[in-house]
Structure 1
Amino acid sequence: MEISANVFSSGISSIQAGQRRVDQAAAEIAGNPVAGPPQAAQTPAPNQVDPSSGAAGQGRADLSESLVALRVGQHEAQAGARVVRTADEVLGTLIDTKA
């Protein structure tokens, strides 16, 4: 029985880690500033900063990383759920075999 308890514990830990990753990524996504409507391409004057570079570009990169982390967390939680489901099925089969 100890083996199955370890498997269940491992699966539940994976679900919890995935949920934490999803929560963190969702908070980062929610904290990202919302971009306005796209503007026509304009060449900035020599003394102006190009809005498509720098902070705006960094925000898109952060958003992309957060979206990837969100998806990784989702898959991590799903994998943990599969571990728990499989362990439950195996344990049920073992109990049916002994009964």
Structure 2
Amino acid sequence: MTINTILNEGLNGIRQSQQEMLKAANEIARAGTTANPGSVAEIEGNSSPTSIESSEGVRDNTGGGAGLVEPLIDLRIQQRVFDASARIVRTADETLGTLLDTKA
């Protein structure tokens, strides 16, 4: 492997991690904001929305909190992937600098 290839792999890891972080952040932002499609009365304040119906039709009284767990875990995992990819780029950069200093 060349230094250029290693740098590219590190940068690709950073890009992919950023995309996955954005996905997880969007899921976190949307958690708890989805209501029943037919519950206009709840939106207008005519009824108190104490539970929401999941896509499986089962009532969920957690207020969407359970939907936050996986995106938060994904966000933490992607943070670690991002950090590891950044370390790869830093190490390749230091190695390249050392090689240039040795050549000079």
Equivalent pairs counted in the alignment come to 82
Quick one: which amino acid aligns to residue 11 of structure 1? G
CA distance in 1, matches of 2:71, 2:61: 15
**Superposition TM-score, scaled by structure 1 size:** 0.72
State the TM-score, normalized to the length of structure 2. 0.69
Structure that is richer in helix per residue? 1
Q: Distance in 2 between matches of 1:90 and 1:54?
A: 56
Q: Could you say which residue in structure 1 is the equivalent of 2:9?
A: 10
- Give runs of aligned pairs for residues 79-98 of structure 1, distance below 5 A: 79-98=84-103
User: CA-atom RMSD, angstroms?
Assistant: 2.2
State the partner residue of 1:25.
24
| CA drift at 1:54 | 4.1
- Mapped to 2, the partners of 1:58 and 1:4 lie a distance apart of 50
| Structure number with higher relative contact order (C-alpha < 8 Å, ≥ 6 residues apart) | 1
Structure 2: which 5+ residue stretches go unaligned? Answer: 34-50, 52-57
Q: Distance in 2 between matches of 1:13 and 1:88?
A: 15
1:16 maps to amino acid: R
Q: 65, 75, 83: which one pairs with 1:78?
A: 83
Shift of 1:57: 4.4
5+ residue gaps in structure 1? 35-50
| Paired letter, 2:65 | R
| Whole-angstrom CA distance in 2 between matches of 1:67 and 1:18 | 14
The alignment-based identity, stated in percent, is 41
